Amino acid sequence: MLGNFSYCNPTKLYFGDDSLRYLNAELPKYGDNVVLIYGGGSIKKNGIYDEVVQILKDNGKHVAEISGVMPNPTVDKLYEGVDIARRHQADLLLAVGGGSVCDYAKAVSVSVNCADDPWEKYYIRFEEPDCETLPVGCVLTMVGTGSEMNAGAVITNPHTHQKIGHVFADENIMPKFSILNPKYTLTLPREQMIAGIYDIFNHICEQYFSGADDNTSDYLSEGLMRAVIDASRVANQDMQNYEARSNLMWAATWALNTLLSRGKSTDWMVHMLGQSVGAYTNATHGMTLSAVSLPYYRHILPYGVPKFKRFAVNVWGIDPQGKTDEQTALEGLAAMEGWMRELDLVMNLSALGATEDMLDGIADGTIVLPGGYKVLERAEILDILKESFA
C-alpha cells in the first residue's frame, strides 16, 4: 500500500433483528430534547414509528418531529429542519429511515448553530463547521448509501439544479450510533431494494477503480463485491430472505464507512455524473448511477486496463486464457451489465425522465474530481451522457 493515512470511525453499530432495544442504552447519553427525523410515513405503516416513539417516551425524552424528508433532500427542507431543531433546543437528532434521512440529519447537525447560510458554506464553498454540531443517531430502514457510518451529507438545490455531497472531515459528524435491523428492509418495494443494491456495488467500484499498487483495500473490495452479487441474486428471487437482506445491509455499511478508501486515490465520477442527473430529474439515486456507470467505465477502461482485467477475473470469474488484457477487461464489464439487467436496473437516462435538452446542463453541473484513471474534460462528460441517454 502506498501513501500515509489515518483511520478513525467512532460510530457504534447495533446489528440484528432485536437491535432496536439498544436504543435504550444510547438515549441516556444525551439531553432530554430529541428531534425525530423521518421520511414519507412508511415507518408509521410498518410500525417502526410506534416502536421508536415508545422507547423515546420510556426514556423521558421531549420529542419534536421533522417528517416528509424526501429521497433527494432539498435545501428548503434543510432550512425547515434547522428552524425546528433550533426552536426545540435539540440535544440529539434521531434519523429513522434510509440514507437520505441520515444524510439530512447530518446536514441539520452542522447547520443548527451555524451563523452562515449552510448551502453556501457547506455545499458551495465546501467549508468545514466552525460551530458546535449536534449528535446524530440512526435507525436504518433502507440500505445502500452507507450514511449510517460516515460523515457524508447530500443536499439538492432544485432552484439551481445542483445536487451536491459534502463528506465532512471531522469524524464527529459521523452518527454516534446506528441501529441496523435487516427486518426493517423487508417491506421495501423491489425498485428501492435494487436501487440500493446498485448504490452499494457502485460505492465499492468507485474506491476500487483507482491506483495501481498492491493494495489490501482492493482485496477487501473484491470480497464485498462478490458478497453483494450473491446476496442480490437471492434477494431478487426472494425478497423476504432475511439472510440475503442482512448480508446486503452489512455490506452497504462497509462499502462506504471509509475503510475501503484507505491508501487509495478513489474515483467518484460516477457519483458526480449521477448526482447531476438527479438534480435535473429527481430520480432515485441508485438508478442514476446504474444509467451512467457502464458508459463511464468503458470510457476510462483503456487508461486502467490492469485493474479492469483484475475486476473481470477476481469478481466475475472471467477466464483470461487466450485473450488480451483488454478483451478480458471488456468481458468483465459485459458480465457486470448482464447482472445489472438481471436485477432490472435502469440502463439509460431517458428511462429516468431526462431529455436531450438537459444534457448540456447536466454536463455543466457535473463536478470533475481527480483520482481516477482519467480526469474528464467537459466534451468527454457530454459524450458519456449521450451514450447513457441511448
Residue 384 CA to its chain's centroid (Å): 22
Q: What nine digits make up the cell of 193?
A: 431494494
Report how far residue 294's alpha carbon sits from residue 309's, in angstroms, rounded to the nearest whole number. 15
Report how far residue 142's alpha carbon sits from residue 185's, in angstroms, rounded to the nearest whole number. 5
Report how far residue 149's alpha carbon sits from residue 247's, in angstroms, rounded to the nearest whole number. 16
* CA-to-CA dists, residue 285 to 103, 290, 338, 346, 350, angstroms: 13, 9, 20, 11, 15
Report how far residue 298's alpha carbon sits from residue 193's, in angstroms, rounded to the nearest whole number. 26
Output the CA torsion sign for 306, 309, 311, 317: negative
For the residues of 22-78, what is the DSSP string, one character each? Answer: GHHHHGGGS-SEEEEEE-SSHHHHSSHHHHHHHHHHHTT-EEEEE----SS-BHHHH
Q: Strand, helix or coil at 87? A: helix
CB count in 10 Å sphere of residue 122: 23
Residue 390: predicted pLDDT: 76
* Residue 353, phi then psi, degrees to nearest 5: 95, 5
CB count in 10 Å sphere of residue 21: 12
Interstrand relation of 162-167 and 152-157 (parallel, antiparallel or unpaired):
antiparallel
Report how far residue 236's alpha carbon sits from residue 233's, in angstroms, rounded to the nearest whole number. 5
Q: What percent of the chain has pLDDT over 90?
A: 97
Contact by Cβ (8 Å): 120, 146? no
Residues in the chain with pLDDT values less than 50: none
Report how far residue 179's alpha carbon sits from residue 139's, in angstroms, rounded to the nearest whole number. 5
Residue 41: predicted pLDDT: 83
pTM for the model: 0.96
Which helix (DSSP H) or strand (DSSP E) does residue 163 occupy? strand 162-167
Q: Strand, helix or coil at 297? A: helix
Contact by Cβ (8 Å): 71, 100? yes
